[in-house]
Structure 1
Amino acid sequence: MKWFYRIVSLFAALLFVTPLIWMLVVSVKKEGMKITSLLDWFTPPYSFAVYNEIISTTKLTNWIWNSFFVAICVTLLTVVFAAMAGFVMSKLPFRYKSLVFFVVLSGLLIPGEAVIIPLYQVVKDMGILNSYQGLIFPALASPMAVIVLKSFFDGVPNDLLESVQIDGGGTWRIFTSIMIPLTRPALASMAILTFVGSWNNFLWPFLSVTDDRFFTLPMGIPTLMNQYTEDYVKPMVINAIASLPIIVLFVIFERQIVKGVSLSGIKG
């Protein structure tokens, strides 16, 4: 049966890779070429002139930088805050510990759209609309990251922590020297999932940003697509430029991404 599973896996892989291949091939075609059959899309001549035009005449590269900057800041700050919160709820005693955990857990039950209006009002009152701060700060609260990291911290034996305390180590040393190294796979997985989620986020940038200097890719690409509704090559070039960074990221961190999905229990 191994050959059957391999054939099915290969077919499934081709099914997912075909749109990417199609996008890349069409993106290097010349504009205005006459297409009479499917093979015409895959035959020379090829040209990167449209790539140069899109990069030089649009703000696409600026939007890529915005997406990277926002995603990196959100990822780093979210992982740091979630790790500290998970550690406190897992290993440090305090009153109403169960209640605090229940409040964090209840955050998973509330859809983001339900709080988008009060969140917008808060950001508006703070005066950080149309800014990087307005894109980054509201995305830092991640109940999923806190709960996942807490579950990993729960798996660290308390005897190990007590031995560090006997040697004179304080809470901060336990957190940085013991807990963080032992849960590094979980931290890496949550970092990658947070990065991808921030990279693909559309709703909040759409509501909080009106200045195209602060557009992220999910916000900026539709504005470009409306300009090329009758052309195939330019939309494919835009999507290829926007997709390549995240494709490279997936190829490099494929194992961690798959592990992160399995560790966090996220499906689909």
Structure 2
Amino acid sequence: MKTKAVIGKVVLTVISVILALIFIAPLIWSLAVSFQIEGKQIVSVWDWFKLPYTIHNYIDIIKTSAVPIWTINSLVIAVVSTALTVILSSMAAYAIAKIKFKGRNLIFFYFLLGLLVPGEATIVPLFITANNLNMIDTYAGLILPSIAGSMNMIIMVSFFKGLPNELIEAVRIDGGGELAVFFRIILPLSKAVISTVCIFAFIGSWNNYLWPLLCAMSQSKFTLPIGIPTFAGTYTIDYVKPLTAGMVASLPMIILFLIFERHIVEGVTMSGIKG
């Protein structure tokens, strides 16, 4: 039995390593290309060890392109939209989970229905609304639509329902209102789910492509996902610059995943089981 268990672990480990290499190979290739000298191409695996490498490509896109501006735009939009998402989602989730009022189940059902509607189906009315409000090509137009998602609120509702009502009633007996309950009880006990929502909201905003593509008309409002394709020429494609810019765009997400890996895995589990 022990021999079979050892063999099973070895086989599972080998399969896991092979799958990991398959998924990480494009990232390694992109990283290698971003450091190669212009005009030199990586044709085979052996070229990774023979070709000279340089950081000139990174210096070049920082000095001669709008990548720094796009990076700042992406950071501003992601940070602000994440903060607003957490504030609004947590307040709405608390009201639905812990405050008894008529129609709260209907409201929660409405948010659940929102998960069944693909985002692409709302693009046209969303664009018309933003255009009528003069929000096209503005930071407000890029930020506000991203804070109205249902998933983050539903995750918080599921978590808040598990918090003990005795603590909430104790604050109310002491004369505290709903804001006191929210800030003194709910938020301190919800650091884990808030961290998860922050991570998901930031990643979603950072990687958002379709809406910024429609809303951002000038390059000064571009984010990294829609700015990177502009490096492609009309008839030819310079792979070095797009991949270099792509590595710049991927770096914050890689760092975020390495630091908050546990929260991301817990969030996926929470949204899959409780959502």
What interval of TM-score do these two structures reach, taking the shorter chain for normalisation? Answer: over 0.9
Q: How does 1:198-237 map to 2 (within 5 A)?
A: 198-226=205-233, 229-237=236-244
* 2:151 paired with 1:151: no
Partner of 1:20: 27
Which of these residues, 93, 105, 110, is aligned with residue 103 of structure 1? 110
Partner of 1:78: 85
Q: Partners in 1 of 2:240 and 2:41 — Cα distance?
A: 12
Partner of 2:168: 161
1:146-186, CA deviations, whole angstroms, 9 ceiling, x for partnerless residues?
11111111111212211222233221111111111212111
Partner of 1:40: 47
Q: Partners in 2 of 1:115 and 1:236 — Cα distance?
A: 31
Structure 1 residues 179 and 214: CA distance shift in structure 2, 3 A: same
Which of these residues, 164, 180, 185, is aligned with residue 187 of structure 2? 180
Q: CA deviation at 1:129?
A: 0.9
Q: Partners in 2 of 1:33 and 1:148 — Cα distance?
A: 49
Q: Which runs of 5+ in 2 are unaligned?
A: 1-7
Q: Partners in 2 of 1:160 and 1:35 — Cα distance?
A: 62
Q: What amino acid is the match of 1:139?
A: S
User: RMSD of the alignment, in Å?
Assistant: 1.8
Q: Partners in 1 of 2:42 and 2:209 — Cα distance?
A: 34
What is the TM-score with the length of structure 2 in the denominator? Answer: 0.91
* Farther-moved stretch of structure 1 (238-247 vs 208-217): 238-247
Q: Partners in 2 of 1:45 and 1:87 — Cα distance?
A: 57
Q: What amino acid is the match of 1:152?
A: F
Which of these residues, 163, 180, 189, is aligned with residue 196 of structure 2? 189
* Farther-moved stretch of structure 1 (241-250 vs 40-49): 40-49
Aligned residues of 2:82 and 2:202 also touching (Cα < 8 A): yes
Partner of 2:135: 128
Aligned residues of 2:212 and 2:226 also touching (Cα < 8 A): yes
Runs of 4 or more above 3 Å deviation: 34-38, 226-232
* 2:249 paired with 1:251: no
Q: CA deviation at 1:75?
A: 0.8
Q: CA deviation at 1:74?
A: 0.9
Q: CA deviation at 1:235?
A: 2.7
Aligned residues of 1:30 and 1:47 also touching (Cα < 8 A): yes
Aligned residues of 1:145 and 1:190 also touching (Cα < 8 A): yes
What is the TM-score with the length of structure 1 in the denominator? Answer: 0.93
Aligned residues of 1:164 and 1:174 also touching (Cα < 8 A): yes
Q: What amino acid is the match of 1:184?
A: K
Q: CA deviation at 1:3?
A: 2.3
Q: Which runs of 5+ in 1 are unaligned?
A: none
Q: CA deviation at 1:229?
A: 3.5
1:38-59, CA deviations, whole angstroms, 9 ceiling, x for partnerless residues?
4123324211112211111110
Structure 1 residues 172 and 51: CA distance shift in structure 2, 3 A: same
Q: Partners in 1 of 2:41 and 2:153 — Cα distance?
A: 55
Aligned residues of 1:29 and 1:41 also touching (Cα < 8 A): no
Identical aligned residues as a percent = 45
Q: Partners in 1 of 2:24 and 2:118 — Cα distance?
A: 32
**Count of equivalent residues:** 266
Which of these residues, 8, 12, 18, is aligned with residue 11 of structure 1? 18
Q: Partners in 2 of 1:97 and 1:32 — Cα distance?
A: 62
Q: CA deviation at 1:37?
A: 4.7
Aligned residues of 1:129 and 1:208 also touching (Cα < 8 A): yes
Aligned residues of 2:77 and 2:139 also touching (Cα < 8 A): yes
Q: Partners in 1 of 2:77 and 2:43 — Cα distance?
A: 43
1:52-85, CA deviations, whole angstroms, 9 ceiling, x for partnerless residues?
1111111011111111110111111011100000
